[in-house]
Amino acid sequence: MIEDIYLIMEKWKLNPHLLFWSDNKVPVGSLFDHSRPLYVFGMRSIMVPKLPFLDFNKYPDLHYLWFALVSKLIIKKFDLHIGVGAVSLVALPLIYSNIPFACWVATVYRDELEGKIYSLDGDIPAQSLLHGNHWKNVEKQEKLVYQKANIILPLSSHTAQKIRKLCSNSEINLGDTLTSPINLSVFHANDRKNPSQQSQKIILCVARINDPRKNIQLLLHAFKIATDEIQKLHLQLVGEMASENILNLCSKLGISHKVTIVDKLPRREIGNLYREASLFVLPSMQEGLGIVTMEAMACGLPIISTYCGGPEFLIQESKAGVLVKSNPQDMADAIIWLLHDTKSWKSMSLNGTTYAQIHLGHSSFEKNLSNALKSVFPEVIWPEHE
């Protein structure tokens, strides 16, 4: 999300800077002297150091307050302000500065933490944060951002629903959904084959596979069941090298020889993997949007996803896949069905590429973003879009 906004602001010649907090040692001078900005992943950046002596999971509200107060001294030097992040708390500094701002957000914090806690592996730090003494303060801070934002841009319809529920007793300005764009020159369906043309069927999952929210253990159990029905079936996990727990589970299930795990790859290489695969499966507990499902759609790869938030809307709207409950048998049944039903597979493949061409490219994103920001920053001359 951050890179999407940054690159558009660069294109519009608005000289963007990224302000965020960091675990790394931050040069004090860099906080206030922007004549020689730091660059992080190619983006002009200002880093605020985290509080080194307080455990974030025990005192999250104090960490967010520290970030807000230090950042307040910096942000007034800039003319246009947009909070962008997984949760709205990234925009907390803006509410203390009494300036107009927009907030583009992926999910509400509780939804993100519960996705980690209720995965098959669970997540103790997330549980500690959600059930800790300071959680009420964190949620108050989150709501305050929504109440003060001049416009809230939810990443998906699922995000919008969660924000409305959280702020049910508050007046907020919730704008239209703003979906992250994908590069349609990288993610396309040229030269792809359907399963009937493939000697080996490949199930693909692209994710941070050690993140508890991604719930990879569910996919491994489902894959084991599916291999009993389809012999020439292979699972490819892409995103990071697996933890010992995941490797041990592969061994226990007797599927290690049928599972390939690949570290993070350049997007172009991932585009090729989508086109070579037979199905894309997303076993997540929680997703604000699920950008990987959008990439799979654009490559004509049918999707099987759990009911996990953002992907539900995408799949229901595009008809490019099927939704299943979070249990191995249902997921395995869907895998077996789609690999055997070529007609349904082709229909979902075509639906996905058509939807992506209309809704998921950069031109659509630019138009939706500029229309949203006009209401907050009318003094800026925004690009015109047809």
In the DSSP assignment, the letter for residue 134 is T
Q: For residues 277 and 293, what is the distance between their CA atoms, to the nearest angstrom? A: 13
Average pLDDT on 174-190 reads: 91
- Angle at alpha carbon of residue 183, lines to 161 and 376, rounded to 5°: 50
- pLDDT for 96 beyond 90: no
**Residue 379: how many CA atoms within 13 Å on its side-chain side?**
4
Q: For residues 239 and 255, what is the distance between their CA atoms, to the nearest angstrom? A: 19
**Residue 312: how many CA atoms within 13 Å on its side-chain side?**
15
Domains plus CATH for the chain?
Answer: 2-181+362-374 (3.40.50.2000), 195-359 (3.40.50.2000)
> pLDDT, tens digit, for every residue of 207-238?
998 888 899 999 999 999 999 999 899 999 99
Q: Residue 312 has which token pair?
A: 């539900």
- pLDDT for 372 beyond 80: yes
Q: For residues 251 and 218, what is the distance between their CA atoms, to the nearest angstrom? A: 15
Classified as helix, coil or strand, 361 is coil
- pLDDT for 27 beyond 70: no
Question: What's the pLDDT band for 33 if we cut at 50, 70, 90?
Answer: low
> pLDDT, tens digit, for every residue of 250-287?
999 999 999 999 998 988 899 999 999 999 999 998 88
**For the chain, what is the mean pLDDT?**
87
Q: For residues 320 and 329, what is the distance between their CA atoms, to the nearest angstrom? A: 21
Average pLDDT on 324-337 reads: 96
Query: Which neighbouring-strand residues pair with 324?
Result: 306
Got the DSSP string for 164-232?
HHHTTTS---B----PPP--TTTS--TT---GGG-SSEEEEEES-TTSGGG-HHHHHHHHHHHHHH-SS
- pLDDT for 360 beyond 60: yes
Cβ-contact 151, 238 below 8 angstroms: no
Q: Give the position of tokens 């950042």.
A: 71
Q: Give the position of tokens 């039903």.
A: 341
Question: What's the pLDDT band for 194 if we cut at 50, 70, 90?
Answer: confident
